[in-house]
Structure 1
């Protein structure tokens, strides 16, 4: 990380520590609610869905606060709230208490995201931002993967209190992360404006109206939703459920696939960023959609070849990670470059909310499709969503190209006038 400044390293490290704690809970929370506590799949799905709905609401709120107040302060308060919320799940002995705790945690966790992005953008120059977000994605994947791996030896889903160690670890992770953000080096992150980021006093509603007026941002919003639905909404619930119920692979194979996804992402992240450094964002996001479409097709086809199911599942999780290496580093800098003047935090918050919030549909779609025996329809739907993402990325590329042409013409005209 020699090319990453001290402030950026601190933000990335704080995010990694938080994900280290969350990784001890995420892979197990659905089975914990549905089976360990005996509350059933409906409560588990409602908890996961309200977590995501709360994140959808919190993203724009956190972004607005990051525009109005010091982003580091917003991140600290949100992470402290997240620690309190996830820690409270140790005491959640009823379905209602569990669902409320998950909802509060989803809100606090998402509220910290826009402030964290503003800090990272403010600590980097334009050419470095993909690298910064690549390190952020790699750190988050590493934290999540290590947390999940360690928790596999500590969590006991046969005991009612078997996930308490995960809840405590997540709370400690967010407390440490908040402490790191509280002592964040200030040399560059204080001056977001020096990096060309005018935060202003953005209003979430105003940011939404401005996004809807700008074709490139409007299509970027469609692209964000489609890519989130095509993979992230199903990574934790739908894909494992499909693997277990339709492909009939062992639970250990699902765990191996998740680990492969994590470590492929870490291994390839920076190499992919270097390769894509000078390539336009929209075609790269088209490639992400195409990669994920191919993965869904492979998962659908292999259902007819049970002997190959385990190998294809692990392989597709690795290929999904290739798309992730471009998604994270490219999307946030693209949104930041298109954000309306004075609404950076609110715009980032809106898109953070979209990415996280649409994941609320993941458990519901997977539950309805797979419990009804519609595995082919489940895969077909995600092939279609991936195709929508490709189309939306093409529209973003077309509108950005149209914006660049008048600017180039105007520049040529100015040069002609100067020569005259």
Structure 2
């Protein structure tokens, strides 16, 4: 068994800072899990905001996220991932706390703007991880971290699914307050055990004249295709989880909030139980081929959800809503170890913040388009076109992944050099080969 596929060997070789991050990931995300499945329900059914405006409010988070990723990536390279992460987490905490108490559309936009600013923490945290974990172990780290993230979110979804009640608005206030307070954990880590981690790296002498602007990086063919894959992965996936999926399940499938909570729990169970097995199976295989398989799985998931509208408000609808998230979750176990690993193996150390910011920007752009399109189509009862659009998006993502494979080196694509298990953590960071 290789170091990549052995959890024990991976944990043994992991630096102390990485152990701190992994060991607290699930509890950090418990608060996020309380609110993730129910934000659009909260806005629409509790605060009386129309479904399409609620989708726009949620998309606004991603709009702000896109706007701040550029400055955030440059700040990460210049000032370090830790400082940027602290700033973003504080903004997120303030926005979520505000969301719990405001009751007007303008104030909701302010709260969503603060939450959107927190989008800078994603490229910063990925840069922090890449500075701690090197070599083939990065893919394993991203996969395990994703499983733990979903463990925290899933547990939160189970708790809130059993607790929240649309007839008791105070229950929604409670979960948003708890979500905000949970953000004190990453702030404490960044100010304590992780305070010595440094992500700023000087450009090597032979790279001084290489373009460091976002435009220069984005012009590289491999980067362009990777960004398109990332955008589509969000548009047909994560951009729909809070808006499209939840709205379809409620408005078309006519299932209860408790069923939606259990759907997210099923998603989490699949990810937690399958992620290590998936990591073992995909180790040494081309990451782009893994993305093709994932696209097929997600297309099947959306077709399954679409069938909930055939027999709504019954056991069948509840079963397929939960089944959708089960299949979708398995696809996630293929996506999450691959795109971040490709991005960080492609990026030079001194530009890691910018590369992760571009990836984050593509992710956020998909999150902007997803809820807006979902809100419009579902409000106008275009249920079949909504599902057909997402299935077509999955097919296009598979085509783009095949195109990306021709533009990146085998090493960036997950085909390792002849590394011994002992070198899995200490291997030098791969240089970009395009």
Q: Which TM-score bucket, shorter chain as reference?
A: 0.7 to 0.9
Q: Which among 39, 51, 59 is matched to residue 29 of structure 1? A: 39
Q: Which among 262, 271, 290 is matched to residue 265 of structure 1? A: 271
SS in 2 for 1:30: helix
Contact 2:35 2:175 in 1 (8 A): yes
Q: CA deviation at 1:90?
A: 3.5
Contact 1:296 1:382 in 2 (8 A): yes
Q: Which among 78, 95, 101 is matched to residue 105 of structure 2? A: 95
Residue 46 (1) aligns with residue 56 (2):
yes
Q: CA deviation at 1:131?
A: 0.9
1:181-192 equivalences in 2 (<5 Å): 181-185=190-194, 189-190=197-198
Contact 1:286 1:393 in 2 (8 A): yes
1:403-414 equivalences in 2 (<5 Å): none
Stretches of structure 2 that go unaligned for 5 or more consecutive residues are 1-6, 413-434
Give TM-score, length-normalised by structure 1: 0.86
- Counterpart for residue 232 of structure 1: 238
Residue 19 (1) aligns with residue 25 (2):
no
Q: CA deviation at 1:51?
A: 1.1
Contact 2:52 2:372 in 1 (8 A): no
- Counterpart for residue 316 of structure 1: 324
Would the alpha carbon gap of residues 402 and 260 (structure 1) be closer, same or farther in structure 2, given more than 3 Å must change?
closer
- Counterpart for residue 64 of structure 1: 74
Q: CA deviation at 1:356?
A: 2.7
Q: CA deviation at 1:301?
A: 5.0
Contact 2:40 2:54 in 1 (8 A): yes
Q: Give the Cα–Cα distance (whole angstroms) in 2 for the partners of residues 206 and 264 of structure 1.
A: 40
- Counterpart for residue 417 of structure 2: none
Q: Give the Cα–Cα distance (whole angstroms) in 2 for the partners of residues 248 and 232 of structure 1.
A: 21
- Counterpart for residue 378 of structure 2: 370
Q: Which among 140, 148, 165 is matched to residue 157 of structure 2? A: 148
Contact 1:56 1:358 in 2 (8 A): no
SS in 2 for 1:325: helix
**Number of residue pairs matched by the alignment:** 396
Would the alpha carbon gap of residues 142 and 197 (structure 1) be closer, same or farther in structure 2, given more than 3 Å must change?
farther
- Counterpart for residue 295 of structure 2: 289
SS in 2 for 1:126: coil
- Counterpart for residue 346 of structure 1: 354
SS in 2 for 1:279: coil
Q: Give the Cα–Cα distance (whole angstroms) in 2 for the partners of residues 163 and 21 of structure 1.
A: 12
Q: CA offsets per residue over residues 357-396 of structure 1, 9 Å max, x none?
A: 3212222212211221211100110111111100110001
Contact 2:94 2:114 in 1 (8 A): no
Q: Give the Cα–Cα distance (whole angstroms) in 2 for the partners of residues 302 and 158 of structure 1.
A: 25
- Counterpart for residue 141 of structure 2: 132
1:190-269 equivalences in 2 (<5 Å): 190=198, 206-269=212-275
Q: Give the Cα–Cα distance (whole angstroms) in 1 for the partners of residues 349 and 247 of structure 2.
A: 43
- Counterpart for residue 7 of structure 1: 17
> In proportion to residue count, which structure has more helix?
1
Q: CA offsets per residue over residues 193-218 of structure 1, 9 Å max, x none?
A: 6xx998xx99xx95432333211111
Q: Which moved more, 1:119-128 or 1:156-165?
A: 156-165
Q: CA deviation at 1:21?
A: 1.5
Would the alpha carbon gap of residues 157 and 314 (structure 1) be closer, same or farther in structure 2, given more than 3 Å must change?
closer
Residue 332 (1) aligns with residue 314 (2):
no
Q: CA deviation at 1:15?
A: 4.3
Q: CA RMSD in A?
A: 2.7
Q: CA offsets per residue over residues 263-298 of structure 1, 9 Å max, x none?
A: 101111111111111111111111111111222233
SS in 1 for 2:336: helix
Residue 396 (1) aligns with residue 401 (2):
no
Would the alpha carbon gap of residues 92 and 309 (structure 1) be closer, same or farther in structure 2, given more than 3 Å must change?
closer
Q: CA deviation at 1:304?
A: 4.2
Would the alpha carbon gap of residues 197 and 297 (structure 1) be closer, same or farther in structure 2, given more than 3 Å must change?
farther
SS in 1 for 2:350: coil
Q: Give the Cα–Cα distance (whole angstroms) in 2 for the partners of residues 262 and 403 of structure 1.
A: 30
